[in-house]
Structures are given as C-alpha cells and as structure tokens.
Amino acid sequence: MRVKGPEYDLLRESWEYLVAIGPRCMGTEGEKQAVRYLLAQLQDLGAAPVTQAFPYEGWSVSADASLHMTVPFVKEIESYLLLGSGQPVGAFVEGKVCVLGETIIWNMYSWPRFGIIDQHNTIVGYITGRPTGAAISQTLAEGNSRYPHFSIGAEDTELLLALLKQGKEIHVRGTCATQATGLQEGVNIRVPSRNVPVAEKKIVLCAHYDTMYNTKGAYDNTSGVAVLLSLLKILQDRQWRKPIEIIFMAGEEWRLAGSSAHVKALTPQEIAEIELVINVDGIGRGNVFEAWLGPEEVEHEMYRFFAQRTADASRTFAVKTPPPPGSDHTPFYDAGVPACMFTINDQDIIHSPRDVIDERIYENMVYCVQLLVALLEYKRAIL
C-alpha cells in the first residue's frame, strides 16, 4: 500500500532506514547511528530538537548464545539471553536443571524459572521459559547479573517440565559472551512545543528508538518512531491550540532508563502541566488497536473518542485499564500524569530476529498516524 503525501513518504522512508541500521541496543553503533539520523530528520523538518543525556549501567553481548541439552538426550535448545545476563566463569556453563520458581518480567508476566546446578550443588546459571510462543529476549528487571540467563520458548519449556515431572535428570551446557560495560550515557531527543496563544496543559507523545540486542525492531519500536516523525510533519501545517511535545526515548528496553531520567528531571510544576502522555510502542501486524490507559477519566474520554469513529472491517479497538508497567509511559503515570499506550500487539515477533519489515506493519502505521491526528483534533489540541 502506497499512501500519497510527503508525510507518508517520511513514514516509510524513516521506518525502512532505521530497520536497515539493524539492532539499536543501547551502547551500540546502531544506537548512535539512529540518534544521528533522528536529529538530521528533525532539523530537516524545521524542528529544534533538544538532547538530554542520562547515565545507565551498560552491558554488551558479542556473540550469539547457545544452549544444548546433553542428558537424557542431546538436543539444541533455541535460546536468547536476557538483557543484563552475566558471562560464565570460563568458556561455558553446564550442570543439571532444576525448577526454582518464576521469573517476573516487567512486574507483569510470570515465566517458569530453572536453575543450572553444578557438581557442588551451586547455581551457576538460569533458564527462563516463555509460557507461550517461540524464544525471545527480555530484560532482567533486577539489573545486570553475574550469572548467564538463557531465555527459551514454550515448546522447550514444556519439554523440560515434562522430563522433570517424569523424574528424569536433565543436564545442559550453555555458552554466551557478555560483559558489563560500566556507566554509559544514553540520549533522549525532545522536540519542544511551539508557542500557543492560550495557556493550556501540554500533550506529550513519545516512542522509544532503541531495540533489544537481537532484533532490527521493525515492530518494536521503529514503527512508533516513524509514526511520530510522520505526525510531526503533519502538525507543521496545522494550527495548534495546546502545547504538543514529542520525545524519542532511549533505553526503554534498558529498564525504562530514558523515560525515567526524563521524568526525574521534571519539576513538580512541569509534571502538573502535562494533560496526557501518549506512548506509541509497537504497531504490529494484527487488527486490534489497543489503548492501555489510566486513570478512569482517560478511559471515559477514550471510550467516547473510539465510539465516534467508524472502525473499518479490518480493525477493532480494545481499551485496557490500567496501562502496563513495562513501557515509557510508566514513569509519567507513576508521577501522576494521565497516560495512554497505543499498540497493535505482535507477540509472535517481539524481541526476536523475526521482527522485520512487513507490509501489514506499514498499513497499521498509516492508520496509527491518522488516528493520532484525529485524537489531537478531538482533544482540540489542533485545528
């Protein structure tokens, strides 16, 4: 689908360019290249972007992880590392597998947690099993670890649980090459609002430009970044009635490092002046446009907005309350700012090499741009 108009040319071009960079994990050359590209695009649009540097505890991975079951039979297990995973002492980690309990992902999901136990009955590594779907990477909520953490898919998780239930002893051997890189510097890119003639509260729109280490991130979250660039181009030709600020966040996958730093730097008065934060995080291939929001007053307003729109035959709306804890709206919401996260969820490809260019993503991005314009009109932020 080719939608006419320079704003939609920018939507596609920026999306394809950033995806072509490859993974944009924090601290990588891909991340730095994305920053340079975004600053150049914003300047071409006539914006005056402001950068905000912030510190974070760095981590890097230099080789793909491998995990093999060696007992009771030999099997390669598809695996990725949890972001922040440690490196084995020596070239590899091996031992028997036991059930430890659960790994909590983003204070939201509970995934089976296995230990890798050496001959001294000491935990030397971890395996976290995804309950549904293929293996993906995720973020260690507690921070960088001394120990390797492997993430596996549902099929292999069920296999481990079934073998252990049968009383079988399981042995695995895994390799990974990671390192903690100490204090690093990330960069948020903020596009301040133009001046408006009346005193109104501000609407903030944000999207994160970083990715997990193992993905180009066409869905998560190059889609959100391209949507906001396209929206900004549209807003240039519109009359503004409320302040509108756009922020391209760094470090979302890094335990919300960028958005947390941004909100922490705001004064209580600046926080009170934000009417709503809209976070665009992941426009996938599906047909359900999800609005995760809170508090209830925002739910009421969004219900009225969606009720006035004629949903086409290919899409439906889903309003969910409260907003989830694992994305860039969270620091705002925790500070008392009303929040809404827009997404078309695509858990089949998230945080994996499967997250690549797909025309269905682009079609939904076009729809998201149009929806955001309509929402800003509904809120009388633009005319």
Tell me the pLDDT tens digit for each residue of 72-101.
999 999 999 999 999 988 889 999 999 999
Give me 358's structure tokens: 């797909």
The Cα–Cα gap between 169 and 122 comes to 16
Does the structure show a pLDDT above 60 at 311?
no
Mean predicted confidence (pLDDT) in 52-80: 96
pLDDT band at residue 309 under the 50/70/90 scheme: confident
pTM above 0.75, yes or no: yes
Question: CA 209 to CA 14: how far, in whole Å?
Answer: 12
Instruction: Compute CA 156 distance to the chain's CA centroid, rounded to the nearest angstrom.
Output: 25
Share of the chain above pLDDT 70, in %: 98
Residues 311-317, mean pLDDT to the nearest whole number = 76
Q: Quote the CA–CA distance of 199 and 113 in Å, as a whole number.
A: 52
What does the pLDDT look like over 317-334, one tens digit per residue?
A: 999 999 999 999 999 999
pLDDT of 3:
64
**What is the rounded distance in angstroms from the CA atom of residue 125 to the CA atom of residue 86?**
9
Give every CB contact of residue 117 below 8 A, 6+ residues apart in sequence. 95, 96, 97, 98, 123, 124
pLDDT digits (tens, 9 = 90+) for 180-235: 999 999 999 999 999 887 788 999 999 999 999 999 999 999 999 999 999 999 99
- Spatial contact of 246 and 188, defined as CB atoms under 8 Å apart: no
Strand blocks (E) in 146-213: 149-152, 171-191, 202-208
Query: Confidence class of residue 2 from pLDDT cuts 50, 70 and 90?
Result: low
Distance CA 7, CA 228 (A): 10
pLDDT for 242 equals 97
Q: What is the rounded average pLDDT of the residues 358-369?
A: 96
* Cis check: omega of the bond before 221, within 30 degrees of 0: yes
pLDDT value for 197: 77
Alpha carbons 182 and 334: distance in angstroms, whole number: 28
**From residue 266, how far is each of 261, 262, 269, 275 by CA, in Å?**
9, 7, 8, 14
The residue ranking higher by pLDDT, 87 or 67, is 67
